[in-house]
Amino acid sequence: MRKRPDPQGQGQAQAQGHKATVLAESAWAITLFCVACGAVVGLLVPVLADWLVTLRWAPLKGPAKLLTSIPEPGLTIGAVVVGGLLGLLVGLIAVHESLTARISDSRVVLTIRDEDQEFPHDAIALAFRDGKQLVLLAPNSMEIAREHCGLPWRRLADAFTEHGYSWADEDPHRDEFRRWVPETPGLPDGANALLRARAQTLKKDDDAADARELRAELMRLGVVVRDENGRQYWRLPQQS
């Protein structure tokens, strides 16, 4: 774990007025990558359709015959265009879901889905990487933020430490997590019901927003939850 600089050094840094460090994923890079992937998939569609119609039985054989009835090069051009447009849509969604971090000596602002989460310096005891997620901990070890992060981890770590925050490359409380099962004892009132509801949302790919909202409700109850392979693990913050 990288240690926080001494208070005197931090005060000198603030007196010098260090500029905030802003890290954001390239919207152009994300969008172009998704468009390119969509175009490649579109390019493969005619090949797949030709293969399907040769099989005695195959799923989507009817649509495949309809596609192969379109003369070339119209079929390939149309498939590439449609694939590229779908890739553009996916890219725009990915940009909307991407994380931007603004880190200064006084605060950290995380922006995702056009929403800002602002955390004063004193509210952050530790920032660390947990898989593909950026996590911020309060002094009592309670998670105050957990966001999927596609930013360069080394640059992110350097930015946090340069502005006087503690950084770790992994969760120092990982061994404290316990797997949740229904009616787990030791949880605050209402937590089991929220975890049960959240377990259902994790089974649905389109319910990420609900899972996020339920995580926030659990945080209000003082329960830290992390996901691994579709399972939920929980811990309680340190008692003061």
Q: State the DSSP string of the chain.
A: -BPPPPHHHHHHHHHTTPPPEEEE--HHHHHHHHHHHHHHHHHHHHHHHHHHTTSSS-TTHHHHHHHHTSPTTHHHHHHHHHHHHHHHHHHHHHHHH--EEEE-SSEEEEEETTEEEEEEGGG-SEEEEETTEEEEE-TTS-EEEEEE--S-HHHHHHHHHHTT--EESS-TTGGG-EE--TT-TTSPTTHHHHHHHHHHHHT-TT-HHHHHHHHHHHHHTT-EEEEETTEEEEE-PPP-
Residue 218 shares a structural domain with residue 134? no
Closest by CA position to 198, among listed 177, 187, 186, 182: 182
Please answer whether residues 20 and 111 qualify as being in contact, where contact means their C-beta atoms are separated by less than 8 angstroms. Answer: no
- Please answer whether residues 100 and 22 qualify as being in contact, where contact means their C-beta atoms are separated by less than 8 angstroms: yes
Among 146, 168, 190, the domain-final residue is: 168
* pLDDT digit string, tens, across residues 119-171: 999 999 999 999 999 999 999 999 999 999 999 999 999 999 999 999 999 99
Q: Which residue would you say has higher pLDDT here, 54 or 228?
A: 228
In a domain, 205, yes or no: yes
Percentage with pLDDT > 70 across the chain: 89
- Percent of the chain at pLDDT above 90? 52
Q: Are both 201 and 182 inside the same structural domain?
A: yes
Same domain as 214, residue 184: yes
Domain membership of residue 104 as a residue range: 7-24+100-168
**Nearest to residue 218, comparing CAs of 143, 161, 139, 168?**
143
Same domain, 36 and 93: yes
- Do 218 and 108 belong to one domain? no
pLDDT at position 5 is 44
Examine the domain organization and report whether 147 and 86 are in the same domain.
no
Residues 122 and 14 both lie in one domain: yes
- pLDDT tens string 70-97: 888 888 888 899 999 998 898 887 777 7
What local confidence, expressed as pLDDT, does residue 214 receive?
93
Residues 125 and 161 in one domain: yes
Give the CATH number, domain containing residue 13.
2.30.29
CB 171 within 8 A of CB 135: yes
Q: Do the domain assignments include residue 50? A: yes
**Residues 19 and 104 occupy one common structural domain:** yes
Assess whether 135 and 222 both reside in one domain: no
Residue-averaged pLDDT of the chain: 86
Q: What is the per-residue pLDDT for 15?
A: 37
Q: What is the pLDDT of residues 189-214, one digit of tens each?
A: 999 999 999 999 888 765 678 888 99
Shared domain check, 119 and 17: yes
Confidence of residue 2 (pLDDT cuts 50, 70, 90): low
> Residue 56: what pLDDT?
75
pLDDT band at 16 (very low <50, low <70, confident <90, very high): very low
Domain presence at residue 46 = yes
Q: How many domains does the chain have?
A: 3
Q: State the pLDDT confidence band at 64, using cuts at 50, 70 and 90.
A: confident
> Do residues 163 and 178 both lie within one domain?
no
pLDDT, position 207:
62
Last residue of a domain, one of 49, 79, 97: 97
Does 204 reside within a domain?
yes
**Contact, 42 vs 81, CB < 8 A?**
yes
> Residue 240 domain-assigned?
no
- Write down which residue in 143, 168, 193 finishes a domain: 168
Q: Kindly report the pTM of this predicted structure.
A: 0.74
pLDDT greater than 70 at residue 113: yes
